[in-house]
Amino acid sequence: MEKVFATDRLVELLPKVKAFVSKELLPLEEGHHKRSAEETYKLLDAKREKVKSAGLWGLHLPKHEGGLGLTLCEFGQISEALAQTPFYGHYTFNCQAPDIGNTELLGKFGSDDQKKTYLHPLMEGKIRSCFSMTEPEFAGSNPTRLGTLAVRRGDKYIINGHKWFSSSAEGATFTIVMAVTNPEASKYQRASMIIVPTSNPGFKHIRKIPIFGETGAGWASHSEVRFENCEVPVGNLIGVEGSGFQLAQERLGPGRIHHCMRWIGMAEKALDLMCKRAVSREIDEGVMLGEKQFIQGFIAESRVEIDAARLLVLSVATAIDMEGAPAARHRISGIKFYVANMMLKVLDRAIQVHGALGLTDETMLATMFQHERGARIWDGADEVHKQSLALNILKGYGLDIKKKKRPA
């Protein structure tokens, strides 16, 4: 942890989190590929009770919701520590995506009734949620193009549409769906966010989508879903009609800090495994793998890249804490593509150093790469974020494509 970003409560809290992860969760990874998902969740649910007993539950929540009121910068460093066991840490502490984003969204913009019905059980870990935005018929790189419609009839919305990559839909109690409510409005005022219980007869869970051949289970899965004449009360609207994209930005700004710090934690884990392999693998009589300059280069580059990424992300988290996500939106784009690529490079190097072993389920490396290759696609593809950042930079040099006349 960089001292410049340390606070008194983080100095006290972070060692406790790290100790819990090391003692209670990391040992579970040894059998990660041998247990069923049901067995794993049973183990993790028992660990959740230990988190509560240790007074570490709800660390991401504001004080008025029973949390410690950690800043985004502070919780980001907690998130990195939890990512030392990426498939167990965040779930066990009830701050896994997309629940953490939905919690933040409902906490800021939910009505009293929405908070009572959905937010509070979510915060207590009694239920899970999912988020439905991406559609297979439209390019996810342009989220303003949506086919899902929510038509108001009296005191109800009738929702029809097709979504996929609705993360964590299996077993979720409700989803927050992005749907067009104002088709004649400008593109950023057309959509709204609406809560839909998954028990609604109009909500259809079609399938879990295989990722590199694995469908996953529970919160660690992605689903295709349909909304077929799905009726929900108007009171399930979050905020006001047409505010969907504004709410999405409020949700995604902090969410990208969570993701990036989790990726940094995963990169640290990969580097640790890489180094252990380098000093334990004999490639010739008395010659260890770590004596080779190629491997030394992998390790040195990984160390510097991780450290640089951490400083970059925590500086952006501090900017969000001080100025808000909208003011830091272009810097958020920068960390999104930079850290995702850094993490995948370090993972790839660690796999390479392990040789054929790195491709198996004997370590966590293959599993991490399988689940996290999507990091360069989720929440906006690299290319979209790079374009956004570059155009903002070039605008300072006088290029403004919004004002530029295009040939007929």
At 129, the pLDDT band (50, 70, 90 cuts) reads very high
pLDDT of residue 3: 66
CA 124 to chain centre: 20
Torsional sign, CA 338, 344, 350, 355: negative
pLDDT of residue 380: 85
Q: What is the mean pLDDT of residues 177-202?
A: 96
Contacts of 20 (CB under 8 A, 6+ apart): 50, 51, 54, 56
pLDDT at 314 over 50: yes
Q: Share the mean pLDDT of the chain.
A: 93
pLDDT of residue 403: 64
pLDDT of residue 179: 97
pLDDT at 44 over 90: yes
At 344, the pLDDT band (50, 70, 90 cuts) reads very high
Rounded Cα gap, residues 342 and 308, in angstroms: 10
pLDDT at 264 over 70: yes
Q: What is the mean pLDDT of residues 288-312?
A: 97
CA 221, 306, 22 angle in degrees (round to 5)?
60
At 65, the pLDDT band (50, 70, 90 cuts) reads confident
pLDDT at 288 over 60: yes
pLDDT at 143 over 90: no
3-state helix, strand, coil in the chain (%, to 5): 55, 15, 30
Contacts of 16 (CB under 8 A, 6+ apart): 54, 56
pLDDT at 349 over 50: yes
pLDDT of residue 406: 55
- Return the CA Rg of the chain: 22
Bridge partners for 205 per DSSP:
225
pLDDT tens-digit readout, 67-112: 888 999 999 999 999 999 999 999 999 999 999 999 999 999 999 9
Residue type, 135: E
Percent residues over pLDDT 90 in the chain:
83
Q: What is the mean pLDDT of residues 171-176?
A: 98
Q: Which two tokens stand for residue 403?
A: 């004002």
At 407, the pLDDT band (50, 70, 90 cuts) reads low
Instruction: Kindly write down the DSSP assignment for every residue of 55-100, as one continuous string.
Output: T-TTTTS-GGGTS----HHHHHHHHHHHTTSTTTHHHHTT--TTHH
Helix, strand or coil, per DSSP, at residue 297: helix
Tell me how far CA of residue 50 lies from CA of 44, 47, 78, 91, 92, in angstroms.
10, 5, 17, 13, 9
pLDDT at 408 over 60: no
Residue recorded with tokens 């925590």:
314
Antiparallel, parallel or unpaired: β 129-132 and 174-180:
parallel
What domains can be seen in the chain, in order of their start residue? 3-123 (1.10.540.10), 129-238 (2.40.110.10), 246-395 (1.20.140.10)
pLDDT of residue 5: 85
Residue recorded with tokens 């539950």:
57
Q: Which two tokens stand for residue 173?
A: 């109690």
Q: What is the mean pLDDT of residues 203-208?
A: 98
pLDDT tens-digit readout, 364-389: 999 999 999 999 998 889 999 999 99
Residue type, 300: A
pLDDT of residue 250: 81
Q: What is the mean pLDDT of residues 289-317?
A: 97
